[in-house]
A and B are shown apart, each in its own frame.
Chain A
Amino acid sequence: MTSSDELRRLWQSDIAHAINQRDVLRELERRMRSFDRTIRMRDLRETVAGLLVTGIYLWMAAGAKTTFERGADLAVAAWGVWVAVFLRRYFHLTRKPAPEQSLSAYREALVERYAAQIRLAKSVKYWFLLPMWLALLLFDIAYRVDGGTNLKFFLVLVVVSAASGFVWWLNEGPGIRCLEKKRRDLAALMEQEGAAE
Chain B
Amino acid sequence: MRSEQTKFLEIIGQYQPALWRLVNSYEANPGRREDLFQEIALGIWQALPRFRGDASERTWLYRIAHNIAISTLESRRRRDTRELPMPDSVERIGRWRDPDQALVVEEQRQAMLAAIQELPAIDKQLIILHLEGLSYQEIEEVSGLTESAIASRLSRIRDRLTDSIRKQEIRK
B-binding residues in A (CB < 8 A): 1-2, 4, 7-8, 10-17, 19, 21, 24-25, 27-28, 31-32, 35, 96, 98-107, 110, 182, 185-186, 189, 192-194, 196-197
Contact = CB atoms under 8 A, between A and B. Distances in A.
B21 A12 contact: yes
B78 interface: yes
B42 A31 contact: yes
Interface residues of B, number: 60
A15 B51 contact: no
B46 to A, nearest CB: 8
A99 B74 contact: no
Contact of B143 (A4, A12, A99, A103): A103
5 nearest A-B residue pairs (beta carbon):
A102-B144, A16-B17, A193-B120, A196-B120, A11-B131
Contacts, number: 134
Interface in B17-31: 17, 20-21, 24
B21 A103 contact: no
Interface of B: 5, 8-9, 12-13, 16-17, 20-21, 24, 33-34, 37-38, 41-43, 45, 47, 50-51, 60, 63-64, 66-68, 70-71, 74, 78, 92, 95, 105, 108-109, 112-113, 120-123, 125, 130-133, 141-145, 152-153, 158, 161-162, 165-166, 169
A10 B64 contact: no
Contacts of B17: 12, 14-16
B92 to A, nearest CB: 7
B92 A15 contact: yes
A99 B64 contact: yes
A110 B33 CA distance: 23
B38 A31 contact: yes
Nearest to A16: B17
A59 to B, nearest CB: 42
B105 A13 contact: yes
Q: Chain A interface mostly helix, strand, loop or mixed?
A: helix
A167 B146 CA distance: 48
A7 B127 CA distance: 10
A100 B60 contact: yes
Contacts of B37: 19, 24
A92 B142 CA distance: 25
A103 to B, nearest CB: 5
A127 B105 CA distance: 62
B76 to A, nearest CB: 13
A8 B109 contact: no
B5 to A, nearest CB: 7
A101 B67 contact: yes
A52 to B, nearest CB: 33
A99 B21 contact: no
Contact of A96 (B71, B105, B165, B169): B71
A7 B50 contact: no
B122 A105 contact: no
B5 A25 contact: yes
